[in-house]
Amino acid sequence: MQRWFVLLIALYSPLAAYAASLPTADWERYKTTFITPEGRVIDTANQGVSHSEGQGYGMLLALAAGDRATFERLWQWTQKNLRREDGLFAWQWRPNDTPPVKDWNNATDGDLLIAWALAEAGETWKQPEWTEAARTIAVRIRTTLIRPSNLGPLLLPAQQGFEAGDHLQLNLSYWVYPAFRTLARLDPDPVWKDLGASGLKLLDLTRYGAAGIPPDWVSLYNDGRLTLSDKPQQRRFAFEAIRIPLYLCWSGQRPPLLLEAFQRAWPSDGAPAWLDLNNGDRAAYPLTLAQRAMRQLVLTCAEKQPRPMLDLQLDDYYGATLTLLARLALTTPRTP
């Protein structure tokens, strides 16, 4: 059975296929700015903290750049500093705190990104221990972070803090669609395919505001009701939901109505950086670099034809990261 999995993975290694799409010069600039020699990805706009999500992004970028040495440093630092006894990862590491990890709760998107990168790197660089590590993470996610519902399986954002007595709090940008496909090959359970379907259902049901776009967070009640969060910042379309089109396009899915909704929300780079989907309030400042990168991705993904991508700018960690990830997503041959 194990040999069968290895053969199947060998037939499907998308990250290796588009390594040339990440120019060496841009990767070197990104690495020098945001990754320490030890392998820690630094969020320069957030007091220099590191996140499991950022480590996963860094590993994916290093793999796409063909930089095995940096990939190994990223993985080693992640294991040493974030890995928990159950194989998942603490969500945040703060350099100015003692100890740097005070909250050992996980972040499910970070776990998914790390597992996805390990699975692809294990095949690309013939490292079966990375493949096994990815499988271990996938099984732990499946057995502890997925909940049944009338819409299909749902992905908890973390093991703690998002289950109330009568509802779940969900973040639709945690549905990393291309990762589900890779992890399903290592952990052959139908729930991975079903997660993809449930995510699309949720997106169809969470169209709010004049543009008809999903919020950063949504609440699903036991009786089936989907509502905006009662916390003002969480009911916005702001800085989390912007990753939804990234993962959709990366997996080859182009829901036309949803892409049109994002285009309505982002008619130009001067559009407001966030929208309150409850009362219509909006930011007094325009789209950030990260949002501009996602806007450009949406336009290209919707039209199915190339557009010039944003130049890499190094004054914004999140923006620089999403700029490079957008390039990878748009150059990956995928089928829905």
Residues sharing a CB contact under 8 Å with residue 216, sequence separation 6 or more, in sequence order: 171, 173, 233, 234, 235, 236, 237, 238, 239, 240, 241
Name the DSSP class of 208.
Answer: B
Name the DSSP class of 242.
Answer: G
Q: Do 326 and 247 form a contact (C-beta atoms < 8 A)?
A: no
Question: Cα separation of 108 and 252, whole Å?
Answer: 22
Q: Which residue has the tokens 């990223």?
A: 74
Structure token digits, residue 241 = 């939901």
Q: Which residue has the tokens 């790197």?
A: 121
Residues sharing a CB contact under 8 Å with residue 310, sequence separation 6 or more, in sequence order: 289, 292, 293, 296, 323, 326
CA angle 138-168-262, nearest 5°? 80
Residues sharing a CB contact under 8 Å with residue 40, sequence separation 6 or more, in sequence order: 50, 55, 77, 81, 93
Structure token digits, residue 282 = 């909006």
Contacts 24+ apart (CB under 8 A), 123-128: 123/6, 123/9, 123/10, 123/13, 123/16, 124/13, 124/15, 124/16, 124/63, 125/68, 125/71, 128/6
Catalytically active residues, by annotation = 53, 109
